[in-house]
A = this chain, B = another copy of it.
Amino acid sequence: MTARILDGKALAQTIQEEIARAARELKEKHNITPGLATILVGDDPASHIYVKNKGRACEKVGFFSKSIILPQITSQQYLTELIGELNANPAIHGILVQLPLPQHIDENSIINAVHPEKDVDGFHPVNLGKMVLGREDYFLPCTPFGIQMLLARSGIETQGRHVVIVGRSNTVGKPTAIILMQKAAGADATVTVCHSRTKDLPAIIRQGDIVIAAIGRAEFIKADMVKPGAVVIDVGINRIEDFTKKSGYTIVGDVEFEKVKEVASAITPVPGGIGPMTIAMLLFNTLKAAKKTII
């Protein structure tokens, strides 16, 4: 029996329609249009695509979107001052600095420069700290939030189930672990985080009722590492050479999809799984930021 495909693209579409409705209401009742500023420094082609997609998503839901593209040589001081202006700008509710930044810019200090109440990416230490404390007054990082939302709205129970997260990044592994272990609805799971140093990784992964792959290695998770009937969430976005494609590459996840789907009970595809959910949650956070300005 083949797995149910968890269609992140369709769910993200539904969530964006909900967000569009809420945005219209916010405009009618309070004269507020949620505004997102994206900042991109340099020429990384993948980053350009991500930022363009985010801008397009904003337009679709009726948000104001301001895209700022800066040259590779942009100074840290210039960038910091720009963020300061956006922090002070009442038309902008969310600020997203596309990572990675060029080598000569200190990423930590730029992340710190964004006002926590406009940090819709959820990367500011204050927001991550509030996440640890399980507080409500903050922004969850978009990818972990997208994972949780996809599970919840697909009717997949997490309470008491064993979630195995493969990868311990600041953007996915660590925050997803914290979010899913909280004593809260849509969480309450037993959580294991494993990684490159883990001994007998397959045996650990096979324990997962839910496996979340976020290691950034193409098709690393094989069918024999997955417990039959497990739910598999694939966060990987890896480019591999593919000369049959005009672009010369194809996008695959961290999971060997075709084979794992024969073992799992449910699985996210790549693309069309967690990627679109991440963008939907960015819009969700921007709406939340805008709503906070209601007087």
Contacts and interface: CB of A to CB of B under 8 A. Distances in A.
Interface of A: 108, 124-135, 138, 159-162, 168, 170, 174-175, 177-178, 181-183, 188-195, 197-199, 204
A190 B195 contact: yes
Contact of A197 (B126, B135, B188, B197): B188
A130 B124 CA distance: 9
Contact of A193 (B126, B177, B194, B197): B177
> Interface majority SS on A: helix, strand, loop or mixed?
mixed
Contact of A204 (B159, B182, B190): B190
Nearest to A189: B197
Number of copies: 2
B159 A183 contact: no
Contacts of A138: 125
Contacts of A161: 199
B170 A134 contact: yes
A127 B197 CA distance: 26
A15 to B, nearest CB: 26
B178 A178 contact: yes
A192 B195 contact: no
A129 B133 CA distance: 10
Given A125-B132, A160-B197, 5 more contacts: A125-B135, A128-B129, A128-B133, A160-B199, A188-B197
Contact of A174 (B127, B181, B195): B181
A193 B190 contact: yes
A138 B132 CA distance: 15
A161 B195 CA distance: 11
